[in-house]
Amino acid sequence: MSNLSQADIAEIAARYPEAFAGSQKKRLISWSVTLGIVVYLVFAWWLFSIGTVFSSGNWSIAGSYLADWVSYETRPRVDFKEDGATIAYPRFSAYNAERHPDWITLDPAPTGEPKQIFRHVVMDMGAGTIELTPGEVVVASGGERLEIRVSPGKGIEPNGQLPAWAEEKEPGRKIIVDFGFSGRAEIEDDEIKVRRRFWGWENFIFDANSPFWGKSFGEVITLAFSSERIRPEMSNAALAFDNILNNAEWQHGDVWLKLLQTIVMAFAGTVLATLLAFPLAFIAARNITPNRIANQLAKRFFDFLRSVDMLIWALFFTRAFGPGPLAGISAIFFTDTGTFGKLYSEALENIDDKQREGIRSVGANPALVQRYGVLPQVLPVFLSQSLYFWESNTRSATIIGAVGAGGIGLKLWEAMRTNSDWENVAYMVLLILLVVFVFDGISNALRKRLMGAA
């Protein structure tokens, strides 16, 4: 069959205008909807200044935060003296005057004195080295060397042109050298601030105060089951477990306890909301309770509870009860009561009345009519919705915990607020994800089992 020409199509359209009018109208609607979406997107781009946000965003800081999720930094500070240098570490660092990291070579050897002066210091920065001698700093990276003359308290002066990996922030005062992911150093006239980065999470099992710190897995196992006790009051295995739980840097015991609080908050709040919303939904449903005043009162009560966000309820109850899980449970209970009440009442209003009429026709009383004519239809829906919200509230409990309602949310917020413990943030986020995944599986299994039984 040959293809129709334009003239043939025009002739057919003229003969059957009603058939073609519909397709043209549909095409016009499609083009209008597409144009409306494009206009809306352009308007949203302008209204929220999305282009400006992307162009002015500090992506280097975002990259540093992301790197902190999967790595850690050791931050020694070198103070210049006339005849050498001293090395100090942050207050809660694993290193001190008696214990230096193995990537720092010191001459003379450390003696444990707090302010010992070293005449020769070499730092292996992974992608390069920093070498210090009295009055001079030599930085090597990528086959290039940068020599810097140092006059303590007076100024610094680079010898020659700076390489691409070095930047003079303040002439005569500060030079920053960048070793990429391995770290960086800020060289000033009185000190060097070094940041050496490594993959992984530092001291995740044992902190630096533990007798098991720095030992291999085999050494830890041997020591844990050794007959010679490190502390007379407990076995070495119990001591190892206690050191893990009370790790000063990671606080595993406290984090796990707060995570358990979050789970209990979500469970208790959801169960209480289900128990209260269940009978109230029968009052709100018009086909179950014909009293219009009762219907409206119940529905407006649900609207009131739902209209206030869970986070606002959490702030209110934190002020009322003080910080803690009770405020979180109350916030979830109030919000979910309103949500469940609306969902349950709508499910009741959409039941098939034939089953209820059949039960009523055999002379059953009103309670039995609801039990056998209504519940079998709506109970699977109620259970499914409650299980879903139980899983969802585990995430919500984390958010409201950040405002003082207890649980792991508060610890997560504290770690984020310090702006330096992003590996701890990653640890807690992974724990929350694991709990959500587990609860999702449990919820799906229970939903299938209960709905199948119903």
Express each pLDDT in 322-362 by its tens digit.
888 899 999 999 999 999 999 999 988 888 777 777 877 77
Query: What's the pLDDT at 250?
Result: 92
Residues 376 and 312 in one domain: yes
- Tell me the β-bridge partners of 196: 74, 183
Q: Using CA atoms, how far apart are residues 277 and 333, in angstroms rounded to an integer?
A: 10
Closest residue by Cα to residue 412 from 387, 390, 432, 435: 432
Express each pLDDT in 145-175 by its tens digit.
999 999 888 899 999 899 999 999 888 889 9
Strands of 189-260, DSSP E = 191-199
Mean pLDDT for the chain overall: 86
Q: Using CA atoms, how far apart are residues 129 and 200, in angstroms rounded to an integer?
A: 22
Q: What is the DSSP string of 43-111?
A: HHHHHTTHHHHHHH--HHHHHHHHHHHHEEEE--EEEEETTEEEEE--TT-S-BTTB--TTEEEESPP-
Q: Which domain holds residue 432?
A: 252-453
Per-residue confidence band for 20, with pLDDT thresholds at 50, 70 and 90? low
Residues 85 and 13 in one domain: no
Q: Using CA atoms, how far apart are residues 158 and 161, in angstroms rounded to an integer?
A: 7
Residues 269 and 395 in one domain: yes
What's the CATH number where 340 sits? 1.10.3720.10
Query: What's the pLDDT at 87?
Result: 94
Question: Does the predicted TM-score (pTM) go above 0.85?
Answer: no
Least confident interval from 53-67, 299-313, 418-432 = 53-67
The total domain count for the chain is 3
Say how many CA atoms lie within 13 Å of 359 toward its Cβ.
17
Q: Per the domain annotation, does 213 fall within a domain?
A: no
Judge contact between 335 and 313, C-beta under 8 A.
yes
List of residues 6+ apart from 275 with CB closer than 8 A = none
Residues 84 and 43 in one domain: no
- Indicate the SS3 state at residue 234: coil
Residues 143 and 31 in one domain: no
Average pLDDT value for residue range 253-270: 92
Q: Per the domain annotation, does 86 fall within a domain?
A: yes
Q: Which two three-digit tokens encode residue 438? A: 């587990």
* Angle between helices 252-284 and 422-453 in degrees, nearest 10: 40
Per-residue confidence band for 4, with pLDDT thresholds at 50, 70 and 90? low
Q: Using CA atoms, how far apart are residues 269 and 397, in angstroms rounded to an integer?
A: 10
Q: Which two three-digit tokens encode residue 416? A: 């984020």
Q: Using CA atoms, how far apart are residues 204 and 73, in angstroms rounded to an integer?
A: 14
Residues 118 and 39 in one domain: no
Per-residue confidence band for 13, with pLDDT thresholds at 50, 70 and 90? low
* Last residue within a domain, chosen from 174, 199, 224: 199
- Tell me the β-bridge partners of 245: none
Residues 42 and 105 in one domain: no
Residues 384 and 259 in one domain: yes
Residues 265 and 151 in one domain: no
Residues 413 and 332 in one domain: yes
Cis peptide before 232 (omega within 30 of 0): no
Q: Per the domain annotation, does 80 fall within a domain?
A: yes
Query: What's the pLDDT at 275?
Result: 94
Can you count the helices (H) and strands (E) in the chain?
15, 13
Per-residue confidence band for 24, with pLDDT thresholds at 50, 70 and 90? low
Residues 307 and 409 in one domain: yes
Tell me what percent of the residues of the chain surpass a pLDDT of 70: 94
Say how many CA atoms lie within 13 Å of 245 toward its Cβ.
10
Residues 174 and 262 in one domain: no
* pLDDT exceeds 60 at position 2: no
- Indicate the SS3 state at residue 286: coil
Query: What's the pLDDT at 66?
Result: 80
Average pLDDT value for residue range 177-198: 93
Q: Which residue has the tokens 């039995």?
A: 368
Per-residue confidence band for 18, with pLDDT thresholds at 50, 70 and 90? low
Least confident interval from 17-31, 150-164, 404-418 = 17-31
* pLDDT exceeds 90 at position 10: no
The residue among 3 and 374 whose pLDDT is bigger is 374
Q: Per the domain annotation, does 110 fall within a domain?
A: yes
The residue among 178 and 324 whose pLDDT is bigger is 178
Closest residue by Cα to residue 443 from 395, 396, 394, 391: 391
Query: What's the pLDDT at 17?
Result: 67
Per-residue confidence band for 38, with pLDDT thresholds at 50, 70 and 90? very high
